[in-house]
A and B are shown apart, each in its own frame.
Chain A
Amino acid sequence: MIRYIYANDLKHEPQLRDSMFRDRADQFKARLGWEVNVDADGYERDEYDALNPLYVIWQKPCGSHGGSMRLLPTTGRTMVNDHFKDITGGVHIESPLIWECTRFCLSRDAAPGAAAALMLAGGEVMNGFGLRHYVGVFDARMVRIYRMIGAEPDVLGTTGKGRDAISVGLWEFTPESQAKVAERAGLSPSVSRDWFEAAFGAATPQAQHRAA
């Protein structure tokens, strides 16, 4: 299932937390060879994990991490503004309606629909919170996967070559692409909605009151 968890709540989910940061080490350090830090616990963590980001996590039935991404509003510090302004044409991207999506990660044994489920969840966040765009930093080779699942970003540019190629791109979600992504994920929109509401609350009907 999809979980939506702020960093300060990860302490309540030790198995999910440990497996997420270790899968990130496996993906970004071992497989991609990015220059990332892996700590004594085997976690890949950076300074943006310290800003209480919102993690969107595909949780496997066993309770461990199957895939994830990290969201932060662009009104605060972001990776794209700190490190990739050469790719954004020098534009400091900043709006409460644009969030940054980074560290898109899949575990080695991720289920086939995991990537699509995460993109679908990204759409839930966008609709649920009134966002207009995501700006993302991702492994350039992910573009092929994003395209396959129907959530292709608009790539602003790429830095580095081969394994080291890192791209910056933009997403918005039309209802059509949402439907396509849901199909790829093998999830009904109502299940996706239920997971979102499990994290952020379902609407409880409110009685109307007359002023005394």
Chain B
Amino acid sequence: MGWLNNWTTPRSLRWRIWRHARKGNPLGYAAMTQRLDTILHGLEQADQHEALQRAIEALSAFYGVDHMVYHWVSSSGEQYGCGTYDDVWVERYLEKQYLRVDPVITGCYQRFHPVDWKRLDWSSKAARAFQKDAIEHGVGNQGFSIPIRGPNGQFALFSLSHNCTDDEWDAFTETNRRDLILVAHYFNKKALDLEPGRTPEPSQPLSPREIDAMTLLAVGYNRAQVAETLSISEHTLRVYIESARFKLGAMNTTHAVARALARGLIVV
């Protein structure tokens, strides 16, 4: 796992630059909880890394979790990150080279399934010591991580952590995991767009079929009517809508229709 050893000083400085930006932000952490679609709109409009920091703080507040953290690594081993961890903990993580023992990293790298931290292997002495230290630094006893595979070997991890009982955490993740998986991917899309010197990936356009489906939904057809009109099964329609909502960066069908209208992709 080459990149585990590549958390170099310039990267940690980069992390700090993102975090410092937040201190000058008048809409700081104490700001009221924003609506999720407002947060996602802000994320989509972001043209600087500072906006990612603001978005992750707002997302953390929206979901009511102690922490949210995003970090990524490019194929050349470069790493970036932002999140709500205390600076002291970030420094300590780097200094102690916890990347080498953190079961979240070893459990997620090169994979693509979301992981509840309590299913990871914390049995080694080093992992247990790391966990104790993390908890003492306010990371929380519970966590959930979503690995993301980007283009050209890019790998990113979107994590939430919190202090609560197992039952509370299970209920939270069961309710929110699909939304969080989508949010994690939207976050990564934006982080990729902001990579210095990189031309943003052209987002996959909606196909005529998807545009037809979204248009019929926008004019008030229900799913059965849309499926019948397009001569496809409702199951197929659900897959097309799921796919369209992801391309539109939306959380649900209503949100997806609104975004398609706002972007002029559909006209009713």
Residues of A within 8 A of B (CB): 6, 8, 52, 54, 72-76, 89-98, 125, 128-130, 132-133, 135, 154, 156, 170, 172, 197, 200-209, 211-212
Contacts and interface: CB of A to CB of B under 8 A. Distances in A.
Contact of B121 (A133, A172, A201, A207): A201
Given A76-B149, A91-B207, A97-B178, A54 B113 contact: yes
B116 interface: yes
A202 B204 contact: no
Given A94-B204, A154-B235, A89 B209 contact: yes
Interface centre among A54, A75, A92, A156 (most CB of B within 10 A): A75
Interface of B: 107, 110-116, 118-122, 135-136, 138, 140-142, 148-149, 163-166, 169, 177-178, 181-182, 184-185, 204, 207-210, 232-233, 235-236, 238-240, 242-243, 245-247
Nearest to A9: B110
Given A95-B243, A133-B242, A202-B119, A90 B207 contact: yes
Contacts of B169: 206
A129 B110 contact: no
A73 B113 CA distance: 9
B242 A98 contact: yes
Give chain A's interface secondary structure class: loop
Contacts of A92: 204, 207, 243, 247
A206 B119 contact: no
Given A130-B114, A132-B242, A209-B163, A96 B209 contact: no
Contacts of B181: 96-97, 130
B253 to A, nearest CB: 13
19 contacts: A6-B111, A52-B110, A54-B111, A75-B246, A93-B243, A94-B247, A96-B148, A129-B113, A130-B181, A132-B178, A132-B238, A132-B242, A133-B238, A170-B236, A201-B115, A203-B166, A204-B118, A206-B142, A209-B135
B127 to A, nearest CB: 12
A1 to B, nearest CB: 19
A74 B204 CA distance: 12
Contacts of B209: 89-91
Contacts of A76: 149
B123 to A, nearest CB: 9
A208 B232 contact: no
A172 B113 CA distance: 18
Nearest to B119: A201
Nearest to B181: A96
A151 B122 CA distance: 37
B147 to A, nearest CB: 10
Given A200-B119, A206-B166, A97 B182 contact: yes
Given A130-B178, A201-B121, A208-B164, A75 B185 contact: yes
Nearest to A131: B178
A135 to B, nearest CB: 7
A94 B151 CA distance: 14
B204 to A, nearest CB: 5
A208 B120 contact: no
A-B pairs, 5 with minimum CB distance: A201-B119, A95-B246, A89-B209, A90-B207, A154-B235
B166 A205 contact: yes
B89 to A, nearest CB: 13
